Structure 1
């Protein structure tokens, strides 16, 4: 079976609500393993409906390490009354995820978190991802940057600006805040986040030397980014590896 066929099959197999619930619950547990979580905040979501407006998201203030498939809220991005329900998401979660899912059907999956290196990068005056190695170049032309930080993202205008700035990019660096990752599937979002955090770590370490960066030319960076495309199947294999690890150590994520 070709890589492309494997990817297409893997994606189609993950479209049922039950499968999405299990994959999303697994992603929360993986975030803890990699140290991407922060207290009981931050949010991951995945669209269930074709138009993206019906989506799954973690309930308010539930630690990522405890989230199970059955805990995930099924929300309607067009229904603000969900904020009055039990375990309603916090205002910033609704502001970011509700707006993106309501306005951008292509962003089927949205991860918002504050991983250490990506967040540190977001605090720089120039938080752009410079293509200085294979992993940083992976994101050339694929990162949007929002420098309009206005405090806690819990106002309508903030959500609209975030959604508009993200556009069709898989990564949004949120200045003075953190990072948001958008993708068609949960494994692809996980892989984007994994590599972006690694790339941010490399860039920050390079900055810390005080030496000039060997930044690739735009042509070389674009070529390198394009060379990553046939490797999309890596994301599914990587994600499934960690699901098998969870099945051995934390099988309750599927409950």
Structure 2
């Protein structure tokens, strides 16, 4: 299977497959997966309407570069695959990809801490450095039920705007990036911010929020610290972690 798929795609697509499979396994490694019920999608290089998505029913820690399924904007298979896909699960992703040319990768989770904060009326609070990074580029989208309705798409992309982070009320978290590394690192910070808030609120003591002007200046500082918004500098180390703890994603 591995050799067959690799022979049918470009080197650029194969590298994307390896990185996307790694992102799936890292989501599982950090405990943000929800059995098989969320997705990470990525636009195939040098295309407008070709995307990679997980084989439906495969747990995130099982995903490999070869098992990823190539689909069009309507989640129809482009490259023959023995694995099923979930068109309903691609609803949110297809909307974001269509609206945001820069959103080459879209990562969505139902993590417990993320859903917990999404259910709080005030949303994410400026309680941590991680939160300040997120708040510099965060949108909110109200819950409209399970995301199967095509009519919801314009409202969702309008709420995302040009932000990196989107909190789906009562539902979960979403990040976008130029590649799987950027989308994953953004989600790492998003999830950390939510986890800190859950723990801080559970402490039952008076909280000390970050000043608004500091939050406002955080986005530019993040670009410097992370060498180009989130991904590049940490990704090689994360791949080494996977090679030690869950190898085989690159097959």
Identify the TM-score tier after normalising by the shorter chain: 0.7 to 0.9
1:217-236 alignment runs, 5 A limit: 217-233=211-227, 235-236=231-232
**C-alpha displacement of 1:88:** 4.2
Structure 1 unmatched ranges of 5 or more: 1-14
Alignment CA distance shift 1:51-1:113 (3 Å): same
Question: TM (normalized to structure 1)?
Answer: 0.85
Alignment of 1:148-159 (within 5 A): 149-159=143-153
Which sits farther off after the overlay, 45-54 or 85-94? 85-94
Structure 1 residues 229, 237: closer, same or farther in 2, change over 3 A?
A: closer
Measure how far apart 1:185 and its partner are.
Answer: 1.6
Task: Find the residue that maps to 1:252 and give its secondary structure.
Answer: coil
* Mapping for residues 13-162 of structure 1, pairs under 5 Å: 16-50=12-46, 52-77=48-73, 79=74, 81-82=76-77, 87-127=83-123, 129-147=124-142, 149-162=143-156
Instruction: Answer whether contact 2:165 2:174 (CA < 8 A) is retained.
Output: yes
Q: What CA distance in whole angstroms lies between the structure 1 residues aligned with 2:38 and 2:218?
A: 31
Structure 2 Cα separation of the partners of residues 213 and 56 of structure 1: 42
Cα RMSD of the aligned pairs, angstroms, is 2.1
Higher helix share: 1
- Between stretches 103-112 and 202-211, larger displacement belongs to 202-211
SS of corresponding position for 1:29? helix
The separation in 2 between residues aligned to 1:58 and 1:190, in whole angstroms, is: 15
- Is the CA contact (8 Å cut-off) linking 2:95 and 2:153 kept in structure 1? yes
Aligned to 1:197: 191
Distance change (3 Å), C-alpha of 1:70 and 1:206:
same
1:181 is paired with a residue of what secondary structure? strand
Q: Is the 8 A contact 2:104 2:179 kept in 1?
A: yes
SS at match of 1:18: helix
8 Å CA contact 1:46–1:186 kept in 2: the answer is yes
Deviations 1:41-86 (A, max 9, x none): 1100111145642211112121101100011111111x46449x86
What 5-or-longer segments of structure 2 have no aligned partner? 1-10
Q: What is the distance in 2 between the residues matched to 1:241 and 1:199?
A: 21
Q: Partners of 1:235 and 1:133 in 2: how far apart?
A: 20
Question: Secondary structure, in 3 states, of the residue corresponding to 1:45?
Answer: strand
**After superposition, what is the alpha-carbon deviation per residue over 1:232-254, rounded to whole angstroms, capped at 9, x for unaligned?**
23632322112112223433211
> Distance between the aligned counterparts of 1:46 and 1:38, measured in 2?
19
Change (3 A) 1:205 1:164: same
1:218 and 1:50 mapped to 2: Cα distance?
40
CA-CA distance at 1:152 after TM superposition:
1.0
What is the number of residues matched between the two proteins? Answer: 237
